[in-house]
Every structure is written in structure tokens, then in C-alpha cells.
Structure 1
Amino acid sequence: MKISKKLPHMYWSYTRGQWMERTSPFTLKPVRPIKLISDKELKDIYLPLAVFIKERYQLSLRRRQHIASMLEESPAPTPFIIGISGSVAAGKSTIAVIFKELLAQLLDQPAIDIIPTDNFLFSNEILEKKGLLEQKGFPESYDTESFIHFLQSIKFGQGEQLIPVYSHASYDIIPNKYQTVRPSDIFIVEGINTLQRVKINESGLAVPDFLDYAIYIDAPEDYIIEWFLQRIESIFLDNQHIPSSYFHQFAGLSVQGVRQLAKQVWEQTNGPNLRQFISPAKYRADLILEKDRNHQIKHISLKKI
């Protein structure tokens, strides 16, 4: 028997219209506008989704408290970790901010922090020594061991952590700069590698083992390519005259020339990475959001289990 590659039996699947019909009877708490999206998109799509995630968070809290009570132990202050994955330029960081703001409102301001997994890329210097600079973004270009150690530390309450900081303007880890990560109620970990099962040692642990809820941002590749070119164009225009920027070296190029270089990067690196490693992991997600060309959500898949 041939099993469908789309695994439809794992998900409740809704078009945009079907989702709005199913969730319109919800009595939802009004929320403040979020500048990143229209009020209609916020109310029709993201607010009901945030309510579902809020319920998962609260169920997780009750479950831990119940188990601790059964064992006559004090419940550990374990954070709820949301992973957001998808292609480069799919809008992961934007959606992370949207859910952060919505959950903060729905849960009356819990501590929520966003962690970009780009912070755990090896520096360009290390990638060059390893011969991996042309494969930046592939699983082997990340310091996965440090990333998993960090996830263990925040998951099991080992206090304040310092992690590196990545800059898209310099296209590199910033030397001697660190992000201070303090204990939070919820962490949103966003990056292309959050659903990939890259094992680093005999423990067999991988990044998805630490996630309480996983989201995948999906779209046709031709849409993503255009978003990627637009993103590179925007970064180039903002940074071409800054000497410390990676894009300063291209200051003599036209915008069209920069877009052509970006297209080559897509064809050589980002496209193969999407097809080989990022997209195949999407069915590990609890929620798959498919976008249209204008970044609006056109299809929603919620895992049944």
C-alpha cells in the first residue's frame, strides 16, 4: 500500500475560509493591534491560533503540577518552548513576534523570549576553515552541540545563559557580543533548523526533543525565492555604505546586480538546503501554516495528536 507523502491523516486541514468558519463562534478576548499584520489577519487567523497555543501551554503547566503532586515533589519551573521552522525568508521571525505579542496579551504578560537559531551558526572564520562557507545554513554549519546544551540549560532551569549574536548585516556572528537569556515562562525558538533531528552524541538528543509545540511556515518555492530576493535587496540598500557591513563590498553594484547574486546563492545553497533538510522535517510540526504570495495564511494544518 502506498502512503501519501502529505500524511493528511495526521492533521485537521483547513482552507482560510474553512478556518474562519470554524473559529468565528469563538468568544475571543480583544487584543491590541500588532503593526506587523493587518487587524483582519490578526483577528481571523492568528488570534484563534494563539488561543490554541495558550491552551497547550496551560495544559502543560497543569500536567507538570499534577505529576509533581503525585510524587510529592515541588513542580519544577520548566519553560514552554515553541519552535518555529521554515525556509529562509519565509517570515519565521515575524511570526515569532506576532505570537509573542498575542500570548503576552492572552496570558496577562508572562515572561516570553525569542531565540533565533542563527545565533548558533559557526562564525564565518570557522566555516571557512571547515570548508563549509558555501553551505551556510546546512545542518553541519551550526554549532548544534552548543545549541542543544543551551536548550537543556533553559529547559531545566539552570539560570541565566549567554549566547552569541548573529548579524544579517555583517553576515556573521558578532565578535565578543552576547545575548543574555534569562529564565522565562515561554521561549520561542525560531530558525530553519528547529525541526531537524541532528544528533550530536551518544545521548541521541536532538533539537525537537526540547520543543513543546512546533510550527512550520510553508509556501511554494517560487514565492520564497522572491521574498528572499526582496529581503537581500532591502538589507543591501540599508547597509551598502556601512564599512563594517558584509554588503559594503557590493556597493558598486546595481540593485539588479545584487538580486542576481542573491539568486545564485539561492540556487547553490538555500534552495538545496530547503529541499534536502528543511522541508522534509515539516511533518514534525504540530501546526503547518501555508502562505500565499502576499504572506497571508491560506491553509492551516493542525496535528491531531
Structure 2
Amino acid sequence: MDHLCPAGSGPILTFMPFCVGYRSRMSTAATALSRFLTFDRAAWAHLRDSTPLTLSESDVTALRGLNDALSMDEVVQIYLPLSRLLNLYVGASQGLYRTTQTFLGNDGAQVPFIIGLAGSVAVGKSTTARILQALLSRWPNHPSVDLVTTDGFLFPNAVLESRGLMKRKGFPESYDRARLVRFLADVKAGVAEVHAPVYSHQRYDIVPGLVQTVRQPDIVIVEGLNVLQAPPHQRDTDHLFASDFFDFSIYVDADERDIEQWYVARFVRLVETVFQDPDSYFHRYASLDVPQARATAAHIWAEINAPNLRENIQPTRMRAHLILTKDARHVVEQVQLRRV
């Protein structure tokens, strides 16, 4: 995992004290080739400016995911500056939309600003999405913020079983990508009501007949494993992808070895809690002791989650507008922001 320079992107432009990665021997020409500005935690925290803290300790506790190390310090130092940045992006987007509508002679309703959020299983992207939803909804110019997970666009288990894809759940082919693209296209077109399917982690399946209704919010956060996917070859422009509809995108990153440890630790916690419910799809694991649970989780990781991360998820990292990189403590240590 790179800590200072993203792979293949060249050296990082530095404006000390705001950016880390400074190298005195760096040439001006090489610096200009970088795609990202890179910030350490302290430098990024400085960019909060005067953004107020609108979440309490109890709010953060309620939003924190299972086995996630999110603290109030993390919210203040990482997510408040990020909410400020996104607020500026949303404001600029709204202004550009109004300008375009004036040019066209239209007075249509504002269309939602869409944020895509990607990353591995167990890296903490769901917690990141919930925190951003809570913070962004407290800004006065975009109080309505919806969060949609792409789990709802997985094919039902019956379809996956018929196609031999149950062990490929979470891989790109396990999603109804046409339905996801149609959903995003309708959201971006300002359709009054758009419906997304709902997924139950307890049932490990789509809930028949249950939908999440999106009614022209100011912002929609779309969170999922593969949301930043693009055509295999950039010349392929015949098909739309979810990422084509994003105004801003975020990738939550960490070393694969750390993510595996977090996945295993979370699985052990689930065995002790959620899997004890007889209605849980994974109730068959409820009797595992800790060593058995760890071994089972490691096997699932090696067979399913690691290949999906390497083949499909991690390759989309460099397509994000912003990368949050976590250290072994599950704490964001570095932020990379793509140049405009």
C-alpha cells in the first residue's frame, strides 16, 4: 500500500504545511504530473476551518458500525473537513445547474448531487456513509440527504443459485447493474419518486416487495463494493455504469492484511450476536467457538472477499475523487484529494 504517492501517479504536489510527501529533489515538471494532493491527518484537520461540530458523542456511537473504531476525534479531524469540502462542491453544483437552466430557459427542480462511496468488505465504508449523511444533512443548503446501498441491487438468492453465483455474491456479475443504472438515471433526471430494492443482512437476501423511496433529495449517497467500476476499456462507451452518475466519489482504503483482520474480528462478533438469532441466514455458525469462527472467517475471506477486492474493488481506487486511507488501528491516517 502506498502511503505518500498513489501507485502509478508520480510524486505528490506539496504545499506545506497542508500536504505531506514533500521531496526537495522533486522537479516542477514531475510535481505537475500528480493526480492527487496528499494530506496527513493534522494537515487535513486544519481544513475544517470554522465548520461547526453538529454531532454528539451519542450520535457517533449510534452511527458507528460493528467493530469500527470511529471516535469523536476522527469525526472532527477527518469528517468535518470532508463535509465542508462536499458542501462547497454541492453549492458549486447547484449554482452551475441554475446557470444552465437559466440558459435553457427552464425552471425545473434542482436535481440531487450524487456521492459514490466504495471500498472493501469490513473497511468501514458503511459507517463513513452514515457519518457523512448525518453531517451533510445539517448544512442549511442541503438538509435532505438519502443513503442508498447497492446491496439492494444484488440479484435475489434464487437467481444467484440458478446461475451458480452464490459464492460470487458481491462480485460485479451478482448485481442487477441495469436496474442500478436505471435507478441512478431516474434520480439524476429529477424523477419525483424513485424506488430501490431493500436487502436484509439477516435474511442474506432481497426482501420481496419492500422498497426504499427516494423523493428528490438534495444529496444521495450511494455506498457499495463496486460502485466505481468503469468499462473494461475506456474506449467502451456503449454502456452506462453507476459511476457515470456520480458528482463526487470516495474510496475507503486500507492494507489488505488489516482488512482481513477486521473482517475476521467482525465475523467473530457476529457469531456471538447476530448469528445467534434462529432467523439469521448464518445461524448455522452460531455454535462455533472463537478459534472455529476465526478459521471459518479466514476461509471465506480467502475464497470470496480477497479475490473480489483484488480483481474488482481495489482497481477502482484511483478513479475516486478522494481516498481515505486507514492504518492498522482502523483510523484514517491519510487523505488524498484529486486535483480539479
Q: Same fold (TM over 0.5)?
A: yes
Match of 2:8 in 1: 5
- Which of 90, 96, 113 is the equivalent residue of 1:63? 96
What amino acid is the match of 1:15?
Answer: D
Q: Is the 8 A contact 1:233 1:255 kept in 2?
A: yes
- Which of 134, 144, 161 is the equivalent residue of 1:101? 134
Match of 1:83 in 2: 116
Match of 1:207 in 2: 242
Q: Is the 8 A contact 1:65 1:75 kept in 2?
A: no
Alpha-carbon displacement from aligned partner over 1:31-74 (angstroms, at most 9, x marks no partner): 23241343322222211111001000000000010111122221
Shift of 1:135: 1.0
Match of 2:43 in 1: 18
What amino acid is the match of 1:271?
Answer: A
Q: Is the 8 A contact 1:82 1:186 kept in 2?
A: yes
* Structure 2 runs not aligned, ≥5 long: 1-5, 13-33, 65-69
1:163 aligns with 2:188: no
- Which of 106, 119, 123 is the equivalent residue of 2:152? 119
Q: Is the 8 A contact 1:139 1:198 kept in 2?
A: no
SS at match of 2:210: strand
Alpha-carbon displacement from aligned partner over 1:142-201 (angstroms, at most 9, x marks no partner): 0101111111111112222332211222222223332233221100000001101259x9
Match of 2:305 in 1: 270
Question: More deviation in 175-184 or 128-137?
Answer: 175-184
Alpha-carbon displacement from aligned partner over 1:111-144 (angstroms, at most 9, x marks no partner): 1110010111111211111111111111001010
What amino acid is the match of 2:113?
Answer: F
Q: Is the 8 A contact 2:9 2:35 kept in 1?
A: no
Two-structure CA RMSD over aligned residues (Å): 2.1
Once residues 177 and 302 of structure 2 are traced to their aligned partners in structure 1, the CA distance between those partners, rounded to angstroms, is 25
Q: Is the 8 A contact 2:53 2:80 kept in 1?
A: no
Identify which of structures 1 and 2 has the higher relative contact order when contacts are C-alpha pairs closer than 8 Å and 6+ apart. 1
Shift of 1:215: 0.2
Match of 2:86 in 1: 53
Report which of the two has the higher share of helix: 1
1:29 aligns with 2:52: yes
Match of 1:182 in 2: 215
Q: Is the 8 A contact 1:13 1:300 kept in 2?
A: yes
Correspondence list, 1:137-286, <5 A: 137-197=170-230, 203-286=238-321
The aligned length equals 300
* Structure 1 runs not aligned, ≥5 long: none
Shift of 1:87: 0.4
Shift of 1:94: 0.4
TM, length-normalised to structure 2: 0.83
Alpha-carbon displacement from aligned partner over 1:268-288 (angstroms, at most 9, x marks no partner): 111011011101001111100
Once residues 275 and 101 of structure 2 are traced to their aligned partners in structure 1, the CA distance between those partners, rounded to angstroms, is 55
